[in-house]
Amino acid sequence: MKRRLIVCSDGTWQDLAKNYPTNVVKMAQAIQPLDSFNNHHIHQIVYYDEGLGTKQIDTGHSLIDTLIKIGGGALGLGIDHKIQDAYRFLCLNYEPDDEIYLFGFSRGAYTVRCLAGLIYNSGLLYRQFIRKIPKAYEFYREKQNPDNAPSGTNAIAFREKYGQQVPIKALCCWDTVASLGIPDLIHSLKLDEKFNQRYRFYDPKVNPTIEKAFHAVAIDEIRKVFDVTRMEATKDDQVTQVWFPGGHGCKDIPFPTI
């Protein structure tokens, strides 16, 4: 029986406990375990991932805990684990004919777009090869090497031996934010250059395995930290990108947020 595997990745510092739930939370809560529309009876399995900077840290030193939490949210630290955790969920649960849906907001949108890139590059591993996730991620990180790119000899051989190339039914994002690492606020100091080098491998492109992609973008957002990463199609009729009135999200903004 066909199922839907649904990944919901939230924005920075966002989780299920917040008083003002994000659209990702609302989506995760709204999805029923069984879709009986037109008597199809499709089982739906939801994976919700709270945003960067929400993980509870207890080093025994409150100041260090706070700095780690701020670093996760402000600098995007931990996105590698977020991508691989969602990938692991799909590897462990996917069966032939299942449909994959990816939802994300802000950096969570960037996370699921990178997840789609990882699947395209390295395939979706069979369960018995779950230990190969670090290697699959390594190919994704090092795809600047032509042999490791999706059409490269290494990536093709890896997919054929350990996994499969699977389609993504829909990629649905609100305001994709790609800012990772230290912001380049003082250009002359170059404080960000070396630290940010590790983040330059991410690939959020809308790749050919994605059947449909939808992107809701805040047209009134002017803060540089929330610069949007737009979607560009790789085939006809693939991307629907719409600008809505409002900002990225802040309780002090007088107009709607998406």
Tokens of 101: 């849906």
**Whole-number Å distance between alpha carbons of 36 and 32:** 9
Angle formed by the axes of helices 107-122 and 79-93, nearest 10°:
50
Q: From residue 58, how far is each of 53, 67, 68, 102 by CA, in Å? A: 13, 12, 10, 31
- Give this prediction's pTM: 0.83
Query: 3-state DSSP call for residue 121?
Result: helix
In contact, 48 and 10? CB cutoff 8 Å: yes
The pLDDT score that the predictor gives to residue 178 is 78
- DSSP bridge partners of 58: none
Q: Quick: pLDDT tens for 142-151.
A: 878 899 899 9
Compute the distance between CA of residue 172 and CA of residue 182 in angstroms, rounded to an integer.
Answer: 27
pLDDT of residue 45: 98
Give tens-digit pLDDT for 206-258.
999 999 999 999 888 777 767 888 899 999 999 999 998 877 775 555 445 55
CA–CA dist 33, 38 (Å, integer): 16
